[in-house]
Structure 1
Amino acid sequence: MPAGGRPTVRSRRLGTALKQYRQAAKIDQPKAAEIIAASQARISRLESGHVTARVIEVRLLLDAYGVDDPEVRFKLEELAKHSKNRGWWLEHAAHLRPDYVDHIALEDDATYIREWQPVMVPGLLQTPAYAEAVIAASPHDIEPERAAQLVKVQAGRQAKIEEGGASYTAILWETVVAHPLVGVEIHREQLAAILAIGKRKNVTVQVLPLSAGVLAGYSSAFSSFSFDEEPTVEAVTLDNLRGTSVLEGAEDLVAYANAFDLLRSVALAPEASAKFVRGVLRSLKEDTS
């Protein structure tokens, strides 16, 4: 069972896939239970992610559901093998909300990560000083010890991008770049970091200009994740005052994939975006000289 009886992101992804393939094969839960010599309750809990399927169960069910694609089978077997693995972030678990843990687990598994951020620099691009300033300004009363742990976790998350473990695209509204939410010195350091990170082969940073008008309000901040060689969106996270929500419904995924494509089509090209960031950085240096 996932830790604490709570579905993990991986067990839930596995369960959702098994349910979809069962329904496509027109097999009901009692019949699926017979296939693995278990109870209907176990099938229900497997599909909800409250328990993790064993590899042999995954193989038997996929055989019965007529799923022959070797890539699909390998992916689901890997989820079964690793759904209980301890991620690096769990050493900080005492300081993390469960929904934030879900977000980090999605990042850790992803092959493609895309983010739209109209308010502040995304966590995967934040410098430690910027992260500290954002945490300090949070409406929540965060103790110094927890704040320090959150900054460490932010750095741990960024390792995925630094090591080239995922293709990462971030779209920032112009105000995120041009109008500091933090001290000017911290903002200058942050812009320099964005320019440096944006040179990585697996990273694309684009700026949505003010001329895009109401499109900037088309959606609040969100992140989308893909887990295969193709960039098909398979999960989306939304940040809000109460935490992070994970969306996995087919209609939601299509809507946010389309939203990101629309934002990207109107945003400045990567080269023009870098030029804009350099211009803002230059003006900030002139203002403080």
Structure 2
Amino acid sequence: MDFGHFISEVRKQSGRSALAAGLHLEVSRQTIMRLEEGLPTKLTTPQLTSLLDFYAASPDERTDAMALWREVKEQDRTAKAQGNSKGFWQAYADQLVPNFPRYLRLEGAANRMTSHQLVLVHGLLQTADYRRAIVKIDDPGLSPVNTERRIELAERRQARLEDSDFRMNFLFSEAVLRHQPGGPAVMAAQLRWLAEAGERDNLTIRVVPFGVGSHRGLTIQSFTLLEFPRGSSGLIVPPVIYLEGAIGALYHERDDVITQYREAISALESVALSEQDTRDLVLEVAKEYAA
């Protein structure tokens, strides 16, 4: 669970509003909302302690909140040392839907990701032309300048592919290969890139072919499971399921929900092609598009 979401849940359970919390600390409501959205604020540790008092947080909540807060401060120090204290996506904030910065923070902190996609290639694996086609579908009137800014954002996000400590497992329906955002030429290049990306040691791509018939992925739909390393404070950060929709997103952290998705992943892996058979199919379809 990330700090912003955690402190938001503590506030809601206390029955306090963001405005009341801001008045208590003598800061604006927007400052509290930025804290809960995981955005940079100038709040101090004593102010956080006062906020927890105001929320009448339980001893366990206080312990977890302070452990997460130490993680946030440590990440801020690391980011500043690297010259990037705000997160790479902040420069593109006007191009992001409201729910997506939280996902980008989680993706940046994760050390393992498993994603099942029924329709589109996952954003971490999209080529620039494929991404442009998606942008045109969603926002056909977007200016060329802002279209390219979205491409830049996607490319900066893809820097995580180079992180050998970040394990990625992609399970794609064969439909992902058959849909054609941008047309055959764009798809041919996209699929060749998928085949190349699948050779990385920290990444696996497996396709669930149409021929397997009924399977769990048809009903559980697309999702991404993010898992995290133990923090320097020793806190175990629980996994998160992310569900992206056309007008919003959902985040699930309950143990029983996570278990359901883990079971779905096992069921999908039992019917998916091997990595080599997937690569052969991807290249075969790429040749069809290039013909």
TM-score, normalized by the shorter chain, greater than 0.5: yes
Question: Residues 15 and 210 (structure 1 numbering): CA distance in 2 closer, same or farther, change over 3 Å?
Answer: same
SS of aligned partner of 2:258: helix
The amino acid of 2:186's aligned partner reads I
Residue 49 of structure 1 and its aligned partner are, at CA, apart by: 4.2
SS of aligned partner of 1:137: helix
Map Cα deviations across residues 101-126 of structure 1 (whole Å, 9 max, x no partner).
Answer: 11111111110111111101111100
SS of aligned partner of 1:194: helix
Structure 2 unmatched runs, 5+: 15-23, 26-31, 54-58, 78-84, 231-235
The amino acid of 1:217's aligned partner reads L
**Partner of residue 80, structure 2:** none
Map Cα deviations across residues 162-206 of structure 1 (whole Å, 9 max, x no partner).
Answer: 233511111110121134333111111001110111111100000
Per chain length, whose mean CA-contact separation is higher, i.e. which structure has more relative contact order (CA < 8 Å, sep 6+)?
2
Question: Residues 145 and 220 (structure 1 numbering): CA distance in 2 closer, same or farther, change over 3 Å?
Answer: farther
SS of aligned partner of 2:213: helix
Contact 1:55 1:77 in 2 (8 A): no
SS of aligned partner of 2:99: helix
- In 1, Cα distance between equivalents of 2:281 and 2:255: 36
Structure 1 unmatched runs, 5+: 1-8, 20-27, 30-40
Map Cα deviations across residues 69-91 of structure 1 (whole Å, 9 max, x no partner).
Answer: xxxx9776323543795111111
Question: Residues 178 and 94 (structure 1 numbering): CA distance in 2 closer, same or farther, change over 3 Å?
Answer: closer
- In 1, Cα distance between equivalents of 2:265 and 2:237: 12
**Partner of residue 228, structure 1:** 229
Contact 1:103 1:244 in 2 (8 A): no
- RMSD between superposed Cα atoms in Å: 3.9
- In 2, Cα distance between equivalents of 1:233 and 1:218: 25
Q: Kindly report which structure 2 residues correspond to 1:153-192, keeping only aligned pairs within 5 A, or say none.
A: 153-192=153-192
TM-score by length of 1: 0.72
The amino acid of 1:115's aligned partner reads S
Shifted more, 261-270 versus 185-194: the winner is 261-270
| Residue 224 (structure 2) pairs with residue 219 (structure 1) | no
Contact 1:174 1:209 in 2 (8 A): yes
- In 2, Cα distance between equivalents of 1:50 and 1:94: 15
Question: Residues 114 and 55 (structure 1 numbering): CA distance in 2 closer, same or farther, change over 3 Å?
Answer: farther
SS of aligned partner of 1:256: helix
Contact 1:99 1:243 in 2 (8 A): yes
| Residue 280 (structure 2) pairs with residue 280 (structure 1) | no
Could you tell me which of 256, 263, 287 is aligned with 1:258?
263
Question: Residues 232 and 67 (structure 1 numbering): CA distance in 2 closer, same or farther, change over 3 Å?
Answer: closer
The amino acid of 2:226's aligned partner reads F
Contact 1:233 1:253 in 2 (8 A): no
Contact 1:54 1:80 in 2 (8 A): no
Map Cα deviations across residues 116-157 of structure 1 (whole Å, 9 max, x no partner).
Answer: 111011111000010001111226753433322211111111
Contact 2:111 2:165 in 1 (8 A): yes
Pairs aligned (count): 254
| Residue 123 (structure 2) pairs with residue 131 (structure 1) | no
SS of aligned partner of 2:138: coil
TM-score by length of 2: 0.72
Shifted more, 210-219 versus 129-138: the winner is 210-219
SS of aligned partner of 1:164: coil
- In 1, Cα distance between equivalents of 2:116 and 2:283: 20
- In 2, Cα distance between equivalents of 1:150 and 1:11: 27
Contact 2:243 2:249 in 1 (8 A): yes
- In 1, Cα distance between equivalents of 2:143 and 2:264: 36
The amino acid of 2:71's aligned partner reads E
Question: Residues 15 and 258 (structure 1 numbering): CA distance in 2 closer, same or farther, change over 3 Å?
Answer: farther
| Residue 13 (structure 2) pairs with residue 12 (structure 1) | no
Contact 1:169 1:205 in 2 (8 A): yes
Contact 1:117 1:222 in 2 (8 A): yes
Contact 1:208 1:268 in 2 (8 A): yes
Map Cα deviations across residues 189-234 of structure 1 (whole Å, 9 max, x no partner).
Answer: 00111011111110000000112323242222211101116x9961
Contact 1:174 1:210 in 2 (8 A): yes
**Partner of residue 82, structure 1:** 75
